[in-house]
Each structure stands twice: as structure tokens, then as C-alpha cells.
A = this chain, B = another copy of it.
Amino acid sequence: MKCKKCGAKASVNMRQHKLALCKDHYLEWVPEQTERFIKKYEMFTHHEKVLVAVSGGKDSLGLWDILVRLGYQADGLYLGLGIDGGINYSHESQRLAQKFADEHNLKLHVVDIEQQYGHPIPMLAEISHRGYGKPCAVCGLAKRHEMNRIARDLGYDVLATGHNLDDEAAVLFGNTLNWSSDYLLRQGPVLPSSDGLARKVKPLCRFYEREMTAYCITRGIDYIYEECPFAEGSQSIYYKELLNQLETTRPGAKLTFYLRFLEARKSGNLFVQHNVERARLHSCPSCGQPTTTDDLCSFCRVIEKAKSVPAAS
């Protein structure tokens, strides 16, 4: 197969786009496309300060690399979750995030959950009795909370995450199987800022996971290969597998599923614009972030509970 742009040997073939590219043109194409998505969905401008949530994985490091190459003001935020899982997961992912920042002379903010709140994520999850024996619910809660906190405290205009198409399609699939109005009416490449929450954007939402892998490998970015050890057997991985089956027999099915959803949302022909029943938000008396309860927000309740438990040295 030959590169569509120069005729040299192609190194990436994207069936869903009927497009094959050589290494050099692929490395040009990915940022071009990202720029197109940033503009199309009005994510942010060159005048705004972007905080990239960096996990040390291919998507977030790829995103940071692309934004910097496109000339955006993009700093990184690494959250130390304190997950070991027998593979030194958090330590290794932090090392790779820091290595990338150092090599490219970029600013990386690091927040360590254990240092900040006395316990790592798995322990906070255990103390809080949330998440049915898995730390994923508390981890998601903590990440959202801390990303918002840092973005607000350090004056960033927008928070960018590395969610790719496979992530977004899997979330959409799950929300669709349950017809969760609240989630379906909010899912999209941009979540506008509101009530003291930072604007959130997903510039990679139209790239397949394998396209991001190809980008990082071709670009020589050193990222953590392992998934989080707690991800195994998760709902979202199960949905990804089902969607991959669909994609195998119908190339482009995943992209169509996601894009037609966005079109349907925009057209106003299928969905209502806002969920009329959405709960009113209050300010958490401890952290100031918005919450649906009258008292502490969910994250501060977890932290409050954890205060009574002594830290493991």
C-alpha cells in the first residue's frame, strides 16, 4: 500500500477513511486533523491557556505533543493516584510524563493524592465503601475534582483530556444502552464551563485508539503500555470489545455512531436541548466546587471520612 500524498510506502492504513499514509505524512496529518477538530467544535484559541491532563499513556502524551506542535500554550497536569497493581503503575506513568515534559522543556504540574489527602486512591476507595470493591468510581471522582481545582487555582482557561474515539464511543454505547438522558445530553467534544467548573475539551475524540498508538510510536513518544491494573473486566472495556466487533465487519461503524450522534444533537431534530429535570447546583462549603447536595460535595465527603483513618506511615 502506498502513501496517498507522496506515493512512498505507507505505514498507516485507515480503512474507515480509505486513507493510507507514510510515516512523515501521518505525522503531519494527525495535528492537521486535531487543529480542524479544535476549530470545528470551538474548543479553544491560541490566546487561551490549556491544561492537559497527562496520565503517561499514549493518548494524553500524544495530545500534549500535538498541542505543543500546533503552537498552543499547553501545560501538563499529572495526578499521582498511588496505584501499584504489581507493576508500579503510578510510579512508572509519572516517570514517563515527567520525562516527556523534561525532554520538551514543558511545564508539568504534579499533584500527589496521598501527599495532598493522606491516602492513595485505592485506600480512599476502601475507606469510602464506594465502587463495589473497585477504586474506579472514587478515582474518577478524585480526578474530576482535582483537575477542576488545579485549572481554577492556576488560572487555566480550559482543561484538555486525551479521550479518543474508542473511549467516547464506548461511553456513548453504555449511556445509550441505559438511555441515560443526563449523560446523553452532556456528552460531546466540549463541555462548556459552568458554575465554577472549567471548560473541558477532548481534541482527540475523532481519532481511533490505534491511530493514537501509531502516532506515538511513529513520533517516538515513550508512554506507559500497561492499562491501569484496575481497568481489567470493566464495563467500558467490554463495550469497546463489542464495538470493535462491529467495526471489524463494518469499518467506520464506530466513527459513524459517534459523529451521527453529535449531528443529531446539533440538529435539534432528535434530542431536547437540555434536560429540564437537571438538579440545581450548590457550592461545596469545603472546596467551593459545585455539587447537587446541600452539604459537602462527594469528593470532600470521601476526604472527610478518610481524615479519621490514620495514614499508612
Contact = CB atoms under 8 A, between A and B. Distances in A.
A269 B246 CA distance: 29
A185 B264 CA distance: 12
Interface in A107-153: none
Contacts of A29: none
Nearest to A265: B179
Given A242-B246, A246-B242, A270 B178 contact: no
Given A242-B245, A242-B246, A181 B256 contact: no
A272 B275 contact: no
A312 interface: no
A263 interface: yes
B263 A272 contact: no
Nearest to A263: B179
A195 interface: no
A32 B101 CA distance: 67
Given A242-B245, A246-B242, A179 B272 contact: no
Contacts of A178: 256-257, 260
A271 interface: yes
A140 to B, nearest CB: 21
A270 B271 contact: yes
Chain A interface size band reads: 20 to 34
A111 to B, nearest CB: 36
A267 interface: yes
B260 A179 contact: yes
Interface in A238-278: 238, 242, 245-246, 249, 253, 256-257, 260-261, 263-264, 267-272, 275-277
A193 interface: no
A179 B238 contact: no
Contacts of A179: 257, 260-261, 263-264, 270
Contact of A267 (B181, B256, B260, B264): B181
Interface in A153-186: 176-179, 181, 184-185
Contact of A238 (B249, B257, B271): B249
A116 to B, nearest CB: 37
A255 to B, nearest CB: 11
Most buried by B among A185, A257, A272: A272
Contact of A176 (B176, B245, B249, B268): B176
23 contacts: A177-B246, A177-B256, A177-B257, A178-B256, A178-B260, A179-B257, A179-B260, A179-B261, A179-B263, A179-B270, A181-B264, A181-B270, A238-B249, A242-B242, A242-B245, A242-B246, A268-B272, A269-B275, A269-B276, A270-B271, A270-B275, A271-B272, A272-B272
Given A177-B246, A181-B264, A270-B275, 8 more contacts: A177-B253, A177-B257, A178-B256, A179-B263, A184-B270, A242-B246, A268-B272, A271-B272
Interface of A: 176-179, 181, 184-185, 238, 242, 245-246, 249, 253, 256-257, 260-261, 263-264, 267-272, 275-277
